[in-house]
Structure 1
Amino acid sequence: MKFSKWIPVLIAVLFFIFPHKGHAVDYSISQFDILAEVQESGEVNVTETHTYEFDSEFNGITRHLAPKDGSAIENVKASENGEDLDLSVENDLYRIYRAGEDETIEVTITYTIKDAIQSNGDLAEFYWAFFGDVNESDYGNVSVALIPPSPTSDVTAFGYDRAFDKESIQGDGTVRFEYGKVPAQTKGDIRAAWDADVFSSSIVNTEEDLRAELAAAKESLEQEAAAYNERRDLIAVIGISVLAIYGLYLLYLIITGVRRSKSVQKEARSHDHSGTGIPSEIMSLPALIWYMNGHLPNEAIGASLLNLVRKGNVIQSTESEFMIAHRRDLKEQEEILLNWLFNEIGSGDTFTLEELEQYTSIKENHTQYQHSEALWKEAVHREMKGHELYENKTNHRLAAGFSSLIMLPLIVLFPLHDLMPELFAAVMLMIAAIAYAIAYSPRTVKGVLIRNEWIEAKRSYFNTSVDEWENWSEDDKMRMYLYGLGSNDKDIMDKNDKLIAAFKPLSASAASAYTVDISTLAILSAVTGPSFHSANESASIQSSSNASSAGAGGGGVGGGGGGSGAF
């Protein structure tokens, strides 16, 4: 099995499973510290310290501050090392201007929250979200400190989502939340309540029993956490069992495939190629090139035309002009090639390289050129498939591919329950199953035999002396030459040049009107190969330049707790 050509597909699968969020500015936020000093009046003075590490040019940072209903954020300022920084605001998004490149900066943001305290005369509560699920950036480490107006021992505190079970209450009533790392788009609301006696009586603004409400909310969180942990343990047990069973299933498939491949290789080795020169001509030149290389290089078109010269279907009247001699014994792809070159580009019975250059220089012809090329390649591929070089394992591959869907529920459930090692294993197994389904295409004995013979022929060709090569038939010389040309194989082409340079061409009396020798073929290829390569490059580049491309734009941070960014 050849996996290298499927690497782009696997990369696409990885990006689908782990979508990459691109930023115009390359940065990380290593530290985010919040100090909230609650005043007796109920106002909260907040000091935020943001540590940004930039690996690119930047113009500043952003901070979205989304107030709760009924509250307001005022007097927002920013500074660095005690020096004020310019800022602007639009829809609660503050842009703080501080340009630089490849450096670490520490920006301090201060502001006041109005009407953030709710009190019933017994307790006074601060319930806030300093960031929310609209936050676009990861935080390396987050800490929040809530300081009451004066020391008190009557304190209740807890947090939601990322803040759950992260609180600690100090002896003076200060509440600290140590979040640690907080991924983007993560919530972490916090609640803290102190004895109302440390606040002004004028902020009493509710008749609700805050103590009972907080106790009920905390108990509910603890029950949810207990249920979550129980569910997490159950999912882990079931998930790991499924991973193990599915992993063994994939291992069985792979081992079975390897054994089958070795068996076929062994049978193929029993059919040693004992002839001289190169292997016998079982399939056409372009079909062979496709089979051995997995694709058709641009040079394969010119080589296929010269192969028709070799076979006598086409003759060259001048160095750049070709004529159709006859259309007998043509394969489908050869008929398509002749119609494309002689009828579509040329004048019917003749085709010149000047006509090719003129045709591809006209922008309006590029679509038709690529369409005709695609038709020819499809016919070449059909011919290759017709030789049954690969075993038909469609049902087996479909079964393997669709079996990977077993991983989808686990890929959804594992991250929801913070089972990241298990998630990684599930993703890797799914990718392995998809890769296996795509790439598993075992060769038949015939396919292995052809491939092994040509690999061996190429290896032995490099050790062939001029005297040995001269004993080859003229047809074998031309076939190896055209194989190297059409495959764009630099090693074979270099060897060809060395042999031809030391070879005495056939005398004029030895050639007939419809034969061509290796020397003549080499001269033709020197002009034909670059012409078709340039034609394909021209058609491809011009066509791709017509396609429009759109870049992804970065949006601002929305409400729901706010977030951080850079520009």
Structure 2
Amino acid sequence: MKKIASICMILVLIVLFPIQVFAVDFTIEKTRIDAYLQQDGTVEVTESHTYQFDDDFNGITRTIIPKEGSTVEKFSASENGSSLEFELEDGNTYKVYREGDSGETITFDLTYTIQDGMEIYNDVAQFYWPFFDKSNESDYEELDVFIHPPQTTSNVIALGYDEAQQTAETANDGVVHFDMGRVKSDRNGDIRVAYPQELFPAASLTDNQSVREDILAEQQRLKDERAAFQDRQEKISDFAPYILGAFAILFLVLIWSAWRSHQVKKIEAERMYPEHTLVPKEVMSTPATILYMQSMPQNAYLVTAALLDLVRKKYVKQEDQNTFTVQQRNTEHSHEAFLISWLFDKIGKNGTFHTEDLEAYTNEKSNHKIFHEDMQTWSGMVANEMEGHNLKEKKTKQKWATGLVALLMIPFAIISGIHQLFVWMFAAITLFISLEAFALFYSPKTVKGIAIQNKWKAFQRNYPDTDVSKVKKWKDNDQLRAIIYAIGLNDKKMNKKSEQMINHLPAAQDSSHNISGLLVLSASVQQSFSQAEQTVSATTGSAGTGAGAGGGGGGSGAF
């Protein structure tokens, strides 16, 4: 059923998004556009697009969205002088057909005429046009646009917007070159060029007014804006090292202060909680200790360790390899009482729990949600015991203050990005993330928390290399705690040491008999809980348009 649903979803995506599904990997290495202005106000355009294909391909696309009041006509496409077939799709997109293989570099030559592309006024005639706009989905690695007047002139006004701003150069013959370089997708870049009106004697007036001064004012406005932008850019660059430096020092002070505090507490922990035995004293229950030492333990191993710990504490008795009975319900911790009720009353019956009961219980789909909720409730109660020992400091005021101060980096990063100071922008973002991470995740351990952690880490480190003869001298309770702790962590080296230890214990002793059956028992119980979780997880899912001048625009692509 899932496979059928997946196939249907893929088919829907193919129908709705055919271009995205079958996208061709390519690079437009070089684009040159020449616009030849005619005396009657039409514009003859030739475009040359050099594509580097990294996939097999069927052709290219060129979207040309004319401005309001103008039309695009006489479109044609060729390669090295040979005509290529094309079709108009969606009114503005031309699909040019030319099949090829991955690795080919092809130059496509396109020509078309823009009717009523010029705007004719009393004093000037302007060509104000977007050859691409923010709807374009492809990068141009190198883009050049040339505007050619009907005849030589030196009286030219040229300006560009967005990506075309400050890119215009006027030659002696009046040809304007917009050297845009690399232009990313989703960008606007309108070009605007004005020539004397008398160069277009066959063109009809668009509007009976003079606009030369307005265009010159617009040109000056853009220059002033650019100068102001550069001035702000320079000032921000001057102040950025001091602003970011102060925040960097703040972050380093926080890190140093946290490290220094931890070192002092480590010394205090050794003084207040001296330990002379390999197995640490029992401060918390075994499940809570495992949860503290391994913040995301596997539930199956944690529950297995918890059940075995109930056996160790004689709350539960092991009747055989797969059967347990309740002996005592007056437990030390609330999560122990909940575990007994869950396993021996809800899953088992009348205070008896068989590992087969778990499989029978989880085979009923109606029990899956309840099983998952009970597991979450029990693990939450274990976490509550751990938190009740105050093993971590809250540091609420410090964390809130750090988080609020870090927010000051957001406006600075935005301002730096707007002013194209990307190094400072990334530095501000890095500091913001670092400070916010400190505020979110800094939870220093108390002296007690450090002491517990260090003692159990030392145990984990030393236990696999401890001589069996020394382990045999431990109290039975310590031996059991060591084995159960290793089982809960699912630590292979520690479990191997437990096996070695059990193999050397004398079988005649009752306590040793209980210990020797522990690993076999744990494997059976853990397998039952793992299978139950997999069964439940399978059901509950609990496992881990034109935006350029006058509405025009366009773009390029391939298929």
TM-score by length of 1: 0.85
SS in 2 for 1:540: helix
CA separation of 1:487 and 1:106: change in aligned 2, threshold 3 A: farther
Equivalent of 2:471, from 464, 469, 472?
469
Partner of 2:174: 173
1:59-78 equivalent positions in 2, closer than 5 A: 61-78=60-77
* Conserved? CA contact 1:286–1:296, under 8 Å: no
How far is 1:410 from its partner? 1.5
The whole-number CA distance in structure 2 between the counterparts of 1:159 and 1:323 is: 85
CA separation of 1:76 and 1:504: change in aligned 2, threshold 3 A: farther
What letter is aligned with 1:213?
Answer: D
Could you report, residue by residue, the CA deviation over 1:217-249 in whole angstroms, capped at 9, with x for unpaired residues?
A: 111211222232333334444555432322222
In the alignment, structure 1 residue 84 sits paired with structure 2 residue 84: yes
The whole-number CA distance in structure 2 between the counterparts of 1:377 and 1:95 is: 61
**Count of aligned pairs:** 532
SS in 2 for 1:65: strand
Partner of 2:553: 561
Partner of 1:251: 252
Could you report, residue by residue, the CA deviation over 1:389-428 in whole angstroms, capped at 9, with x for unpaired residues?
A: 1122122112111221111222222222222112111111
The whole-number CA distance in structure 1 between the counterparts of 2:32 and 2:524 is: 70
Partner of 1:262: 263
Query: Which shifted more, 434-443 or 337-346?
Result: 337-346
1:24-43 equivalent positions in 2, closer than 5 A: 25=23, 28-43=27-42
1:351-370 equivalent positions in 2, closer than 5 A: 351-370=353-372
* Conserved? CA contact 2:507–2:513, under 8 Å: no
How far is 1:533 from its partner? 1.7
What letter is aligned with 2:89?
Answer: V
Query: Which shifted more, 230-239 or 145-154?
Result: 230-239
How far is 1:281 from its partner? 1.1
Gaps of 5+ in 1: 1-22, 548-555
CA separation of 1:56 and 1:418: change in aligned 2, threshold 3 A: same
Partner of 1:543: 540
Could you report, residue by residue, the CA deviation over 1:290-313 in whole angstroms, capped at 9, with x for unpaired residues?
A: 111112312211221111112111
CA separation of 1:287 and 1:50: change in aligned 2, threshold 3 A: farther
SS in 1 for 2:541: helix
SS in 2 for 1:301: helix
Partner of 1:413: 415
Partner of 2:450: 448
Partner of 2:501: 499
What letter is aligned with 2:66?
Answer: P
Could you report, residue by residue, the CA deviation over 1:102-122 in whole angstroms, capped at 9, with x for unpaired residues?
A: 646546344332211112364
* Conserved? CA contact 1:118–1:124, under 8 Å: yes
Partner of 1:6: none
CA separation of 1:159 and 1:85: change in aligned 2, threshold 3 A: same
Query: Which shifted more, 181-190 or 215-224?
Result: 181-190
How far is 1:71 from its partner? 0.9
Partner of 1:324: 326
SS in 2 for 1:471: coil
SS in 2 for 1:270: helix
How far is 1:133 from its partner? 2.9
CA RMSD of aligned residues (A): 2.9
CA separation of 1:431 and 1:545: change in aligned 2, threshold 3 A: closer
SS in 1 for 2:465: coil
How far is 1:447 from its partner? 0.9
What letter is aligned with 2:412?
Answer: L
Percent identity of the aligned residues? 37
What letter is aligned with 1:503?
Answer: H
How far is 1:70 from its partner? 0.5
CA separation of 1:32 and 1:460: change in aligned 2, threshold 3 A: same
Gaps of 5+ in 2: 1-19
What letter is aligned with 1:534?
Answer: Q
CA separation of 1:436 and 1:467: change in aligned 2, threshold 3 A: same
Partner of 1:229: 230
* Conserved? CA contact 2:120–2:197, under 8 Å: yes
Partner of 1:141: 142
Partner of 1:550: none
What letter is aligned with 2:129?
Answer: W
* Conserved? CA contact 1:60–1:96, under 8 Å: yes
Partner of 2:7: none
* Conserved? CA contact 1:134–1:185, under 8 Å: yes
Partner of 2:432: 430
How far is 1:285 from its partner? 1.5
The whole-number CA distance in structure 1 between the counterparts of 2:101 and 2:504 is: 63
The whole-number CA distance in structure 2 between the counterparts of 1:238 and 1:251 is: 20
SS in 2 for 1:180: strand
* Conserved? CA contact 1:557–1:564, under 8 Å: no
How far is 1:126 from its partner? 0.8
Partner of 1:157: 158
What letter is aligned with 1:562?
Answer: G
Query: Which shifted more, 129-138 or 378-387?
Result: 129-138
Partner of 1:350: 352
The whole-number CA distance in structure 2 between the counterparts of 1:494 and 1:176 is: 77
SS in 2 for 1:517: helix
What letter is aligned with 1:111?
Answer: Y
The whole-number CA distance in structure 2 between the counterparts of 1:333 and 1:428 is: 42
Could you report, residue by residue, the CA deviation over 1:425-460 in whole angstroms, capped at 9, with x for unpaired residues?
A: 111111011110122111111111111111111111
SS in 1 for 2:186: coil
How far is 1:53 from its partner? 5.2
What letter is aligned with 2:555?
Answer: G
How far is 1:491 from its partner? 2.6
* Conserved? CA contact 2:537–2:543, under 8 Å: no
CA separation of 1:246 and 1:192: change in aligned 2, threshold 3 A: same
What letter is aligned with 2:553?
Answer: G
In the alignment, structure 1 residue 527 sits paired with structure 2 residue 538: no
Partner of 1:8: none
